[in-house]
Structure formats: structure tokens, C-alpha cells
Structure 1
């Protein structure tokens, strides 16, 4: 018999060979294991296959119950002898250095999973379940461990409420793909979703709203309703529900992390308890009053009940997108700033974060927050969840803090995953499976001693535009599989083409299990023209920006040459190919063709995505000149900007005959302001 030793990610389609005959066998495991050594032979599964577990009593019960409910239907036995699957917790495992790692050894007679923890055994079981087919388990040895300790998914249950059975269903899938954190976004303006005994109005009133969809509610007054009232939409988890979910997750070695938003995204709280806002008026404020001592009494009471329900090491406190609008004029906030020697409202926010961290630390917990908690100074023991790119995470790491990488460009599953006109309405953006898979959470430039501070990665599904369980699952799967492989698998074993084949198979398996994944086999792909350079007369020419026509620094698309670099933008302005102009500034650019040139076409594409306030221009003017001073207008286009629910692309161009050295392209925003985005001025 000949044994093949192959790194898994390089080719999970593995060949088994014998001297007499070659037999092709493929294995499909997500995430890709660290090392696979396949041998000839199969361990057959049958009704008499035994299960022997040598582990601590708690882990033994979890594993036994889990396998009893699995398709394997293994029969518990009292000894390791015979045709048996053995799960063995060992004191040391020289092959791997992670407690979540495992070694799976399969022979035609026996299966042995070894690990130093129950979690390691559990992940070995997931690999075993994925390997099993109608014949049984292929013989060989798999040695495996995770790249990151934190492998997470965040579910927003505030904007749209999803019941506990839906959450359990997702926990099953997360565990199957070796994710170990579920972050629940429990509170936000659209609804408070957790029972707090001391503050009943949070669930009697702040958990219910007028409209079933977030968008209707957001555009129609944003009112709350009494529980049981006519047309009241919403819901919440009772404390018993939370205990049930936490226990269910623990049985799958998943930690549930609660998020209680502060100081912002708290309209629902400040309408139910307006005395905690700066103005004491319902429906007027989004930020807690940091100067009010009652704010801290409320937050500490809420967090006390939360900590009693969630045993997680971390409590997430949000910390993002605080408007701070009333703090400069609030007497209590200003008094707090003067007393504490705080120079600005950023430091006032930092004061709140620091104080809440001291409270959490005193109760044996750690603070986790979005990267805005860096503003005004980071709390001493906090961990940063970096969502506005990777910069916040790297800043935290540089200062000795842990970071969880979750940048919107790679990890926000509320974006479209395929051509927008083929998908239900989303908030915008374009995040296909391949883009998720391409994410590297650890920059190559990061110093080796800082690498361990990158604690892990997380995908996020915010649900403003995701109103149903079926829609949520379509947004999660299969993209979460790509994130799982980013989080678990060593980069050396990753290969997208191989992963894509495994993901196609996984989609079919998920459908059989009752999930509603995106049909990956029907993927359309990126916007036509975006995957290859476009050739035209202006490529590489000098571009001059007019007065007060500078592009927005955050969307430069590469700078002054971006509009003539031959690169067409994709489905999203976030792909760094679209140049953005904001604040009703006129896009006013002149291209120097270097010499008088015969021209027959000048045009540029614009996009519109109304949700994030990206609009078409209201006016476009195309002109030419030979001296760069006196311009002749070729075409003036007026356009009525109309808000809609689509992602649309329109080319504003001129066709004809002209000769000129200079080409001037101007575009103006309409009544809605917002962003103008264009990708390339094409000249032919």
C-alpha cells in the first residue's frame, strides 16, 4: 500500500493509489484542515458501530448527546475494543499546540480522535461528520488546529427580531464549521431585545414598533408601540430564553457575547426612559447623557442582569457612531467635563467607556467595543473590534491591546453578494464569496511580536434590509463558510478554487438540512468590465481638478490619476475603484490629452444607491478646449434625481466629432446632496 501525504488546502481533492489500480477519492472539509495524510481503505459505518468516550464527565455528556443526534447514530460502548469510534481527551498532544486542535486517525478497524480539551474533540467530530459518506470514513490521519482563538459571527436581532429557534439553528451551522463565538446585537434604535427585570419598559415598550420592516419604521416617524398593541411589531428574549440559548451554545462549544449599546444607538432606551438623555425628551436623543449619574446607575443595573445571564469573558458595549450632538450644550455633560478635566466630547465618551470597563472588570469581565472606543483614549483592558477598515485594529495592537478584525470591506454580510439586480434589496456594497475568502486579518507588515494580539475575526450581519429568516440565511450562507476558513485554516492550505468546489457541495448539504443559502452555482459575478482593464485615448493622461472640486479622501480610488487609469468600478463604491465627491461639490476635472486629438466619445459612469446616500448627478456638462482656458460646450445633460430602492448605473456621455487637447467633465449633485461616484472618464 502506498501512502500520500498532502497539505489539505492545496488540494482537498486527494488521490489514493495502489500498485494495481488507481482510485480517485475526494474529501470535502470546511474549514480546510492543517494536514491530511490519506491511506487506502475505509472505516465502514453501520448500526453496530460503537462509540467510546474518554473525557471529563461534562465533555463526555456533551459529545455523547451530540453524536446521538447526528446522522452517525453511534452506539455507546464500555470499552475501546472492536469496531469503534473513540474520542479521547489526553494530557498532551505533541502534534498540535492549541487546546482546540485535534488529531483524527482512521483505520479500517477503528477511528480515534485525540485532543487536550472537549472543544478539540468536538472539532474532530465535525471533521469526522463532514468526511462521512455512504461508504464510511476514509482511512488516514488529519492533524488540525485553528489559526485564531476567536472565530465569530454577529447577528443583529434589533433591526429585525429573530426568535430563539432561529438562533439555535444558526448555532448548529456555526459549530459544524468550527466557529466559536456568536455575538448578539441585542439593542439598537429599532428595538430592545432582552428582558431586564429592573427596567420593564425596555420590553413592554422599547421592544415594539409600528412597522414590521425597519425601512418602513425608519421612514415613517420611528415610533414605538406598547406590547400587545395593534400592529405592534417586535419581540424580545426572556431571561429564560437567554439561559436556554446560552446552554445550547455551550453544548456546541460556542460562547454567546451580548452587546448592549452605549452611549449611542439608544433611541429606544431614551424614549422609554427619557430622563437618561440630555434633554429629557422622548424621541429626541440617540446618546445617553454622560453627565447624568442616573445614566451610570441604569447601565450598571442592566449590565448586572446581563452578566448573570451570559458567562462570556467579554461584554460588548457598542461604542460606535456617537453623534454627541447635545453634549456640548448639556449642563450636566459640561459639568462632568470640567470636573474630570476632559478637553472635548471625545474624551467625555472615553470617560464613559473607561468607567464601564472598571465596572465590568470588577465583576470579572472584559470590555469589547467597536473601534470608536479608541477615540479620546482606549480603556486599559479593552479589546477593539475593528470595523472601519483594519486601521483601528492595528492601532489597538500597536498599543498592546487585543483586536478582533471585522472590517466592512470583507466581513459585513449586509452587502450584496452578487449582481444587485439579481438580489433582494440590501444596504449596498458588493461582497462576494471570493472577497470574504481573500481576507487576511494579519497584515504582512505587522511585527511578529504583535501578531498574537490579533485575537481573531468576525463576520457581521446587520439586518436593516433583512426582514425574514429565509433572507437572513441567504445572506449568511455560504459566505460564513469562507469566513470560517479565514478564521481556522492556515494561509498555506488555502486555495479559492478548491474552496469554491467544497462550498458548492456545502450549499447543497445546507439545503437538505433546511437552510436557505444563496445559490452559489448561479452566481453572476462582478460588474461587466470590472475584471479587465479598458483601453481608451485618455488612459495615463494628466487630470487637473478644478477649484473646490477635490475628491473625498476616503474614496480617492488611487488619487489624481484614478479617472484615467483604465480601471472600471465594480458593483460597489467600496471596491476602491470609484472616486467620490461629497457635500454638493461640483465634480470638475480637466484631462490634458497632450496634443490636439480627434475625439468621438466622452463618457463616465455614475452609480446610485440611495440607502447610503449615493446619488446620480443632476447635471453633467462636457466641454473641450485647445488652450485649457476657453472651453466649448459639447453637451449639457439635466437629470432628475429620484430616490429608489435599487443599485443603478448610468453613463452620461457625448458622441460626435471634435478635435481638442483638453477635455472638461463637470457633474453636480442634486437636491439630496450626498455622494457622487464615478469610476473612469472614457475617451474614444
Structure 2
């Protein structure tokens, strides 16, 4: 018998006794031996018992219990469970399209129900600065008014941000804020033009602008609303840059109780390579001095980073197909984090970038990550096989990413997030792909069983092909 459990637990044993009523009281026993997030759940003869070593373990046991619950009864089972990876994340881009606190709360609730434990907020980009700061209020005042396509913008007050952090913590999720630099910084130039270089306009920038429309070429001092990337950059020698970074990164660090602060580092296509390394090294050093662990996208692996810096890989599931035996430059940069005592978060774009179209004719999404990403393809990978030469102990975890060029509303978020976020959750929590229940055939049957629950919760999920939604 297959239960609608996603992610699949470490061990599930069907018991021969009777189960329990759906509303049976739950006994919670605190005991050692289950790890920081693990638990045991036993249902039999009308009794439901959770055993865990921490509140997080109890919380995840309750998520499993919610998935098992039928209209009237719970099955008789014995479950032992703990996650494969410590970092199980969901990234929400609120820079390209701003999403209010209520939408962020919904994302947290939905992610936590699948045992994800990190919310990565992409707070800054060419299109907007979305966090109020006491040290630099002009950033949000000048650069939060618009979104992609000229849509309305917005930003979070400090109270809003603290509420998000607390709301996530109550659901055992850690918030990781991202201030993307030295590229993706056009919005900062609206209030600090002295810190930015002039936009670098290439044929690629012109092609993207013409293909997607919705805004003109980037122009210094003018809000940017189109889709091209890679044209903006800080100036490495700008007077006041280090002071600015120390003030901004220091305040974001002080507002954030979690251990991580993400400084971006991706797609700095208009930045001189030597200047790029200098600015990334400066920013990560500032973060480390603020007692946070720096996180960067994998491109920053070329720089001399503080020991322990975490890299986030966003290349494809099989980089060895595009770069030779060892996976090419993307894989080499990803491995460099482990070589310096850090670890790697895996976000392969052709599997867990939730902004990719489901099918070619989908209403929302883009297709640059090797075309549309079906649910089957989002499931067809394993973290241990993505970066050649990267040992499993060097993998911190998995993170699904939702960029929001085309994603404007809460309904859009749900449509693009589900059901593919379940693939990422299983890759992050469950055993290796190919183990008995960690197969596409098992997953598509189990995820189908969650469709009614998602519908009842008001989640307008995409009914992916290949699944018998019932």
C-alpha cells in the first residue's frame, strides 16, 4: 500500500493492527536519539504517538500525520524518519515582482508542510530594493516603486521583515536574506549613482529586450522594468563603496537571527573580472565580520572567499554534458567551496527553478533552462550526482527557486510552485534516487494523493501530465 507521503520517510512499516480515528489525541514523547529534525510516528489500536528529540522533529511528524489523515481514520503504521540534508530551501524573488507579507506567509506555510526549513528571500535586484533600512532609507524610498513590466512595486518595513522572520521561525524555517551584488544593482543607482558603473549594453541585452518587450534598455537613473540581466555593476573603486556595504550588510545581518547572509554574485556580466573578485571578497569578508556565514551563487567560486562560505549552484542537473569530464567551469567553481571548508546548496535550474514553464504552452514562466520543466523532469535527479567530484558530505542541501519575472499574484505563485516543489522537497529529505520508494513511479502515485488536500487548502496547483490526479 502506498500512502500520499511527500517527502518519503526513511522507513514506513504497515502494521497489522487497527489504525486510529482521524481526530485521535496525539501523545508526544521527548527522547534522545532522533536527531535535530527526526522523529518516530506510530499509529495503532486507536493510539497516535510521536517520539522526537526536538520541537522541529515533532513539527515534521505532524506534517506526516496530516498527509496520512483520511476523512475518518489514520492507517496503522510505524514510521522512522530523519532528513538526508540539513538545508531544504525555497527561494522567493520579491525584487522582480514584489509580493506582500501575506503571500510570503502562504509560501512559508506551504513549504513547511513539505518539511522545507529555509526561506531564501531575494530582496534586491535591478528592478527594486525591497527592504527598508534605518541606515539607508533612501534605497527603499527611491527604488521600490515598480516591478517588471511597469507593474506596481512595494517594500517591507523593518517590522514586516521581523514578522516574516518570526512567522518562519514558528514553522522551523530560517530566513536567508539576499542582497545581490556586484551585478543586479541597477536599482541602487537610483539613489546612489556614484556607486554604479554605466549600464553595459550588449547585443544580448538588446536581443532579450526586443524578444520579451515590457520595457526599454537600461538607463542610469531610470527604474528598470525589462527582463535582461548582466548589464549593471558597482564600481570597484567608487568612493564610499566599502562604507556603504558595511552599513547595509551590517544592518541586514543585525536584523536577521539566522546564521546566513547571501550576497549574490551571479551574472555580473558587465563587471571586469578582477573588479568582480575584489568586490565579492570585500562583501563576503564584511558578512563574516558580522558573524554570519556568507552565501554566494556559484560564480563567486573564482574569488578568495572566507573559509566556510556556502556556494549555491544553479547550473543544470548534468553539467558533465556541457563541460567535459569534470562538469566544466560551473562544476569547478561549485567544488571550490568545499575545497575551502564550505558546502554547497544545489539548485539545478532545469529541475528546481520553479519559474520555468510546466509545458511549452503554459501561461506563466520562461524556458531558458533547457525548455519547459515537467514534473517528471523536476524529479529526475539526485543531489549526489549533479556536480562531479563533490562528495555528499560537502552538500549542505537543496533549494527550489522561484524567480518572478512572470509571477505577479498569489495564484501565480501556487501554480508555479506546485507540484514541482514536492520534487525538491523529496530530493532534500528522502533517500537517494533509485532507492525502493524514491522512484518516479512511486512519487507520481503519492503526489496524486495530495491533490485533494492541496485543493482543500486553496492551493491552485498545476495538474501536471503523467499523474492521475484524483
Fold match by TM threshold 0.5: yes
State the Cα distance separating 1:379 from its structure 2 match: 3.7
In structure 1, the partner of 2:413 is: 472
SS for the counterpart of 1:316 is: strand
In structure 2, the partner of 1:386 is: 313
Check conservation: 1:287, 1:322, Cα contact below 8 A: yes
Q: Go from structure 1 to structure 2 and tell me whether the alpha carbon gap of 1:140 and 1:421 turns closer, same or farther (over 3 Å shift).
A: closer
In structure 1, the partner of 2:14 is: 38
Matches of 1:354 and 1:375, distance apart in 2: 10
Q: Go from structure 1 to structure 2 and tell me whether the alpha carbon gap of 1:279 and 1:467 turns closer, same or farther (over 3 Å shift).
A: closer
Gaps of 5+ in 2: 200-219, 225-230, 320-330
Residue 437 of structure 1, aligned match among 376, 379, 384: 379
Check conservation: 1:370, 1:384, Cα contact below 8 A: yes
Check conservation: 1:458, 1:483, Cα contact below 8 A: yes
Matches of 1:291 and 1:422, distance apart in 2: 45
State which structure, 1 or 2, has the greater radius of gyration over its C-alpha atoms.
1
Residue 424 of structure 1 pairs with residue 364 of structure 2: yes
Check conservation: 2:444, 2:466, Cα contact below 8 A: no
Matches of 2:95 and 2:251, distance apart in 1: 19
In structure 2, the partner of 1:144 is: 81
Matches of 1:177 and 1:279, distance apart in 2: 44
SS for the counterpart of 2:385 is: coil
Q: Go from structure 1 to structure 2 and tell me whether the alpha carbon gap of 1:425 and 1:184 turns closer, same or farther (over 3 Å shift).
A: closer
Q: Go from structure 1 to structure 2 and tell me whether the alpha carbon gap of 1:522 and 1:311 turns closer, same or farther (over 3 Å shift).
A: same
Alignment of 1:435-514 (within 5 A): 435-443=377-385, 450-491=391-432, 492=435, 493-514=437-458
Check conservation: 2:42, 2:79, Cα contact below 8 A: yes
In structure 1, the partner of 2:194 is: 275
1:140-185 deviation per Cα after TM superposition (whole angstroms, max 9, x unaligned): 2100111111111111111111111011011111111000111011
Residue 50 of structure 2, aligned match among 113, 121, 131: 113
Matches of 1:488 and 1:454, distance apart in 2: 13
In structure 1, the partner of 2:251 is: 305
Residue 188 of structure 1, aligned match among 118, 121, 125: 125
SS for the counterpart of 1:481 is: helix
SS for the counterpart of 2:18 is: strand
State the Cα distance separating 1:316 from its structure 2 match: 0.4
Matches of 2:366 and 2:282, distance apart in 1: 37
Aligned-residue CA RMSD (Å): 2.3
Residue 142 of structure 2, aligned match among 190, 205, 210: 205
Check conservation: 1:504, 1:521, Cα contact below 8 A: no
Aligned residues: 421
Matches of 1:322 and 1:521, distance apart in 2: 37
Check conservation: 1:42, 1:135, Cα contact below 8 A: no
In structure 1, the partner of 2:273 is: 346
State the Cα distance separating 1:204 from its structure 2 match: 1.6
Matches of 1:316 and 1:275, distance apart in 2: 24
Residue 360 of structure 1 pairs with residue 260 of structure 2: no
Alignment of 1:57-206 (within 5 A): 84-90=25-31, 92-93=32-33, 96=34, 98-206=35-143
Q: Go from structure 1 to structure 2 and tell me whether the alpha carbon gap of 1:518 and 1:353 turns closer, same or farther (over 3 Å shift).
A: same
Residue 413 of structure 1 pairs with residue 332 of structure 2: no
Residue 294 of structure 1 pairs with residue 235 of structure 2: no
Normalising by structure 2, we get a TM-score of 0.84
Check conservation: 2:352, 2:421, Cα contact below 8 A: no
Check conservation: 1:348, 1:376, Cα contact below 8 A: no
1:275-306 deviation per Cα after TM superposition (whole angstroms, max 9, x unaligned): 21246963597211221241121121112221
Structure scoring higher RCO (CA < 8 A, sep ≥ 6) equals 2
State the Cα distance separating 1:238 from its structure 2 match: 0.7
SS for the counterpart of 2:143 is: coil
SS for the counterpart of 1:484 is: helix
State the Cα distance separating 1:377 from its structure 2 match: 3.7
Q: Go from structure 1 to structure 2 and tell me whether the alpha carbon gap of 1:260 and 1:128 turns closer, same or farther (over 3 Å shift).
A: same
State the Cα distance separating 1:357 from its structure 2 match: 2.2
In structure 2, the partner of 1:263 is: 182
Matches of 1:154 and 1:425, distance apart in 2: 16
State the Cα distance separating 1:404 from its structure 2 match: 0.6
SS for the counterpart of 1:125 is: helix
- The structure whose residues are more often helix, as a share, is 2
